[in-house]
Amino acid sequence: MSLDPIAAFIAYSAAWNEKAGPDARKKLLDQAWSQDGEFVDEETPEGLVGREALSEYIAGTHAEMPGLVISETSEPEVLRDRLRVRWVARQDGTQMYTGTDFVEFAEDGRISRVTMFYDSTPD
């Protein structure tokens, strides 16, 4: 059974905002993220590989920025096995970052790669 790309993205996005702890985040990433999925951004140009590495990165980001909430500012656009979405990161209601994710999917519909670019950062 292949996962719908939008459903995979929604579970991935929810993992970034999961407040119930690492087990709940792991459950979402198990749904959304391929076992050898890769995450690349300006802070991890070599990439993070695997669900555990991504989960730890998300936890570290929240430890560094308590009160962080990430919300999509555009509808996800799907083209074949790719998705693009824009987002905003707020910390306690204050806009900190905006960015764009480019998401690629494995054959089973899970995410195989996210390449994230910042569109704006705090001054």
- Note the pLDDT of residue 123: 64
* pTM listed for this prediction: 0.92
User: Residues 54-80: pLDDT tens digits?
Assistant: 999 999 999 999 999 999 999 999 998
Torsion angles phi and psi, residue 66, rounded to 5: -55, 140
Domain boundaries, the chain: 5-120
Structure tokens at 86: 């824009």
Alpha-helix runs per DSSP H in the chain: 5-17, 22-32, 51-64
Q: Confirm if 116 and 41 have CB atoms less than 8 A apart.
A: yes
pLDDT tens-digit series, residues 20-32: 889 999 999 999 9
Q: Which of 113, 110, 122, 95 is nearest to 7 (CA)?
A: 110
CATH architecture of 5-120: Roll (3.10)
Rounded distance between C-alpha atoms, residue 32 and residue 94, angstroms: 28
- The model's confidence at residue 112, banded by pLDDT at 50, 70 and 90, is very high
- Amino acid letter, residue 91: Q
- The pLDDT of residue 32 is 96
